[in-house]
A and B are shown apart, each in its own frame.
Chain A
Amino acid sequence: MSLKPIWESAVSMLQISKVDVYYGNVHALKDVTLHVNEGELVTLIGANGAGKSTVLKTLSGLVEPRHGEITFLGQRIDGRSVAEIVRRGLVHCPEGRRVFPDMTIGDNLDMGAYSRSDKDQITADKTCVFDLFPILKERFHQRAGNLSGGEQQMLAIGRALLARPRLLLLDEPSLGLAPILVEQIAEIIRALHLRGTTILLNEQNAEMALRLADRGYVLETGRVVLEGSSKDLFQNEHVKKAYLGG
């Protein structure tokens, strides 16, 4: 069951075609096709284990697809190394935040810029990140492991931004956060989107995801079962019953 998009397709940034991914013998992604256009915020919805994280890990190069093609900015990236994919501007902010606990905020941000060599731009970008997340500037010399969950999430996003992403992959940013913080993170993601960052978002919290996104894909047991504008998905019966709790 597929809802057809009704707008003109803009500049295509990312194209995933008929991708199959296996973990050993387990067929984790089956014939997945999806795309992201420049400037969009696209979300992946689905249960845990449906394959959302696998999609992101395949995009960032942590996992290699067995079949299919992945094109980013007009070039094939499936099979390329993680480092190379990051250099091209596809940056994955991982699930569970994964900041480096024994390194300072400053060092964490430096790691974000690891693949870059333009020193001046890096410093300018750091300033931008501090504007976006003033609390990180306040706690600049603190060990990342001592930050709260919400602050760590901000650090993780800031660190990803320092890689100058053309496409930002956000993996479950609201996971394990208190409802009040979930709101804050949603605001930040909206702000990033409005500034022009193209985002592919994985979210367990379907309600929040669809409020933020332009379009969405629903994954179940490794397949894309639904796609459409967020408004259409919001009103879809199956989505409402399975993912919106009503």
Chain B
Amino acid sequence: MIRPKEQVTRPIQYSMLVVLAAALIAPQVVDDQFVVRLAIQAGVFILLASAHNLLMKVGLLSLGPVAFYGLGAYVSAILTTRYEVSFLPAFLAAGIAATVAGWIIGRLTLRLRTAYFVLVTLGFAECFRLVALNWIEVTNGPMGIAAIPPPAPWFTGYLPYYYFILLLVALVLFGLYCIEHSTIGRGMLALRENEMLAQSVGISSFRYMMLAALLSSFIMGLAGSFYAHFFQFLGPEILVFDLTITIVVMVIAGGRATLAGPVLGAILFTVLPELLRTAQEWRMAIFGLLLMIIMLFMPDGIFPTLHRLALRLIRDRLQRRSQTDAISTLDSELQVLTERKLTLNNELHKALSGTFVTDGSHLSRSNHVGSRVRLRDRSESLLVSKDLCVYFGGVHAVERVDLEVKAGEVLAIIGPNGAGKTTMLNAITGFGPITSGKIWYQDKILNKLQPDELARQGIVRTFQQTSLFLKVSVRDNLVLAHTGSEQATLYTSLFRRDLSRQIQQEAEVMADCILEFIGLKSYGALRAGKLPYGSQRLLELGIALASQPQLLLLDEPAAGLNPAEVNDLISLIGWIRDEGITVVLVEHDMKLVMGISDRVVVLDDGKKIAEGSPDEIRTDDRVIEAYLGKRSEHAPNIES
């Protein structure tokens, strides 16, 4: 759930305050210095685990956290011991140094895929450790740096450190909380759930991942500096792989991508080794065994599992019953679509033009959300490709294709499998390569742009295979899709929470309008994965609409739909066109193509073999021979 109900957030907020108060008072009450020291350690790990978790939030699994932590520690230690810089600047320098390192490594590695990314980050961490070990002039090698001064002369005993780390933890967790409930948080969720889909609606994978990497390394750098000044000695042994493992275990066993999971994991796995200390040589063996057991029985992590159990005890039965009822009435809903023509047209118009009526008053779209749809002159060319060639896998997939898409039309691209239709679509939307040739969009050359950049310019596509944010509700799918057109800055997330809330409200209102348009209003709360197939395809269309497209490219939207559903799709596309959106269809279903297209382009074997109105194409000999076949059930006898 993107926004939990009010009844849930209030108690959580109060209990957080209680916990904070308890943490503030605790060391005054608890006399044991050992426990305070343990708490400080736990605090450092909470920072590290939460920072590492940021990467998990965007779907990145890194094994390199020690590099940033260690860098921060070393920078801070060296500055204060050798150059006599005072603590605060050294502390900040540590954070900045780590951030810069994060930026460099991010630029190099973020475009790699999962398993590769994991191991390259590991590689960097290991290299860093070896540098720390061998570059004796700077780091003192295995001897380490000693006599690191405390943050201030009055930092005696454990208490000042305890409150310092408590302050850091509170600030960081609060910041992460704000981010989670802002545009950035939603963008990260979208990327984590379905990266390709997120990109297609304008959410920049690279930008969010980089942001996560920078924030994460910054926090780790600060934590490293704290550690150096707390422990007052620093050697390369803090950079061992074991530490990385510990952090990763804390995050994943605690519950990845959640806010509380890493906190829980950090506390648990700081305390656990202490409890096991009596077991001596069996300590690590038991630790390994415990890890295996947790993964076997709580693969989501401890926190999410407990959370789920709690929910099940409280409200599961009621919710489940209403969901199954929802599914069985879904089909009858769809058949009533044609009767609701007029209101639906309105809904789409409202969603796209930016005037909503909420609570009885007009709410015009704030300038934080772009509105790109405008009615245009029909003869204007929106997209032009010239001599487009795509050559990969040893095949000329697209060969010298000239294509022109006029503003406001519905253009269908048909042709046999392997003709190059999807390849062409991929090339236009940035999901596939272009070997040579040019593509212009509104007189600007398109060639090297990423899919998310193209989407923000208004070029949005759907996919052949069902592509949704499956684990999220139907309504939230649309809210997430809207994120791509929101202006997302860290500043807004952290310091303008009122604005974040307003943006979210607008997104939700728009989502409701689109839900109404595609006919899934009653299923807003249902998990997208549970929708029947036809409704999932409609939701995909809704997602594309939510990102404010000017040019909408649909990849086989009729695949798997029966004739009645295809009829509905024809109506929907018609209304979309009426709103000024240009539509390009890649299709096999002749009924859809003949029913809604203004023009048709036929590809065969990578080349364009015909172009014209639907009637012209239907009777074209070359097309019949290559594609339609003699039995023209696709001929116009749709009268019964």
Interface size on A, residues (CB 8 A): 31
Q: A26-B530, A149-B417, A175-B559 are in contact. Are A245 and B320 (CB under 8 A)?
A: no
Residue of B331, B561, B640 near A246 (CB, 8 A) is B640
Q: A49-B533, A204-B562 are in contact. Are A25 and B418 (CB under 8 A)?
A: no
B-side contacts of A220, CB under 8 Å: 331
Confirm or deny: A179 has a beta carbon within 8 angstroms of a beta carbon on chain B. yes
Confirm or deny: A117 has a beta carbon within 8 angstroms of a beta carbon on chain B. no
Confirm or deny: B564 has a beta carbon within 8 angstroms of a beta carbon on chain A. yes
B559 touches A176 (CB 8 A): yes
Residue of A46, A148, A177, A245 contacting most chain B CB atoms (<10 Å): A245
CA distance A46 to B638 in the complex (A): 20
Confirm or deny: A103 has a beta carbon within 8 angstroms of a beta carbon on chain B. no
Confirm or deny: B534 has a beta carbon within 8 angstroms of a beta carbon on chain A. yes
A150 touches B331 (CB 8 A): no
Confirm or deny: A226 has a beta carbon within 8 angstroms of a beta carbon on chain B. no
Per-residue interface assignment for chain B, residues 613 to 640, with 1 indicating a CB less than 8 Å from any chain A CB and 0 otherwise: 0000000000001111111011000111
A47 touches B533 (CB 8 A): yes
Residue of B324, B560, B629, B631 near A27 (CB, 8 A) is B324
A48 touches B639 (CB 8 A): no
Please give the distance in Å from A120's CB to the nearest CB on chain B: 36
B638 touches A242 (CB 8 A): no
Residue of A176, A181, A240, A246 near B639 (CB, 8 A) is A246
A179 touches B561 (CB 8 A): no
B563 touches A245 (CB 8 A): yes
B560 touches A48 (CB 8 A): yes
B324 touches A25 (CB 8 A): yes
Confirm or deny: A142 has a beta carbon within 8 angstroms of a beta carbon on chain B. no
Confirm or deny: B150 has a beta carbon within 8 angstroms of a beta carbon on chain A. no
Confirm or deny: A183 has a beta carbon within 8 angstroms of a beta carbon on chain B. yes
Residue of B320, B417, B625, B640 near A176 (CB, 8 A) is B417
Please give the distance in Å from B434's CB to the nearest CB on chain A: 22
Confirm or deny: A234 has a beta carbon within 8 angstroms of a beta carbon on chain B. no
A179 touches B562 (CB 8 A): no
Confirm or deny: A241 has a beta carbon within 8 angstroms of a beta carbon on chain B. yes
Residue of B417, B567, B633, B639 near A207 (CB, 8 A) is B633
Per-residue interface assignment for chain A, residues 139 to 183, with 1 indicating a CB less than 8 Å from any chain B CB and 0 otherwise: 000000000111000000000000000000000000111111111
**Complex: chain B residue closest to A45, CB-CB:** B562
Residue of A26, A47, A180, A206 near B629 (CB, 8 A) is A180
Residue of A46, A48, A148, A182 contacting most chain B CB atoms (<10 Å): A48
**Complex: chain A residue closest to B416, CB-CB:** A178
B533 touches A176 (CB 8 A): no
Confirm or deny: A104 has a beta carbon within 8 angstroms of a beta carbon on chain B. no
B532 touches A180 (CB 8 A): no
Confirm or deny: B521 has a beta carbon within 8 angstroms of a beta carbon on chain A. no
B534 touches A47 (CB 8 A): yes
Per-residue interface assignment for chain B, residues 561 to 587, with 1 indicating a CB less than 8 Å from any chain A CB and 0 otherwise: 111111100000000000000000000
B633 touches A148 (CB 8 A): no
Confirm or deny: B588 has a beta carbon within 8 angstroms of a beta carbon on chain A. yes
Confirm or deny: A63 has a beta carbon within 8 angstroms of a beta carbon on chain B. no
Residue of A26, A47, A181 contacting most chain B CB atoms (<10 Å): A47
CA distance A244 to B591 in the complex (A): 11
Confirm or deny: B404 has a beta carbon within 8 angstroms of a beta carbon on chain A. no
Confirm or deny: A221 has a beta carbon within 8 angstroms of a beta carbon on chain B. yes
Confirm or deny: A133 has a beta carbon within 8 angstroms of a beta carbon on chain B. no
B626 touches A49 (CB 8 A): no
Confirm or deny: B556 has a beta carbon within 8 angstroms of a beta carbon on chain A. yes
Confirm or deny: A100 has a beta carbon within 8 angstroms of a beta carbon on chain B. no
B563 touches A242 (CB 8 A): yes
> 11 A-B residue contacts at CB 8 Å?
A26-B324, A148-B417, A176-B417, A177-B417, A179-B590, A182-B629, A183-B630, A207-B633, A220-B331, A245-B567, A246-B639
Closest 8 CB pairs of A and B: A149-B417, A49-B533, A245-B563, A48-B560, A180-B629, A246-B640, A48-B533, A49-B532
18 more A-B residue pairs beyond the given contacts A206-B563, A221-B328, with a C-beta to C-beta distance below 8 A: A25-B324, A46-B562, A47-B562, A47-B565, A48-B560, A148-B418, A150-B417, A176-B559, A176-B588, A179-B588, A180-B416, A207-B633, A220-B331, A243-B563, A245-B563, A246-B563, A246-B638, A246-B639
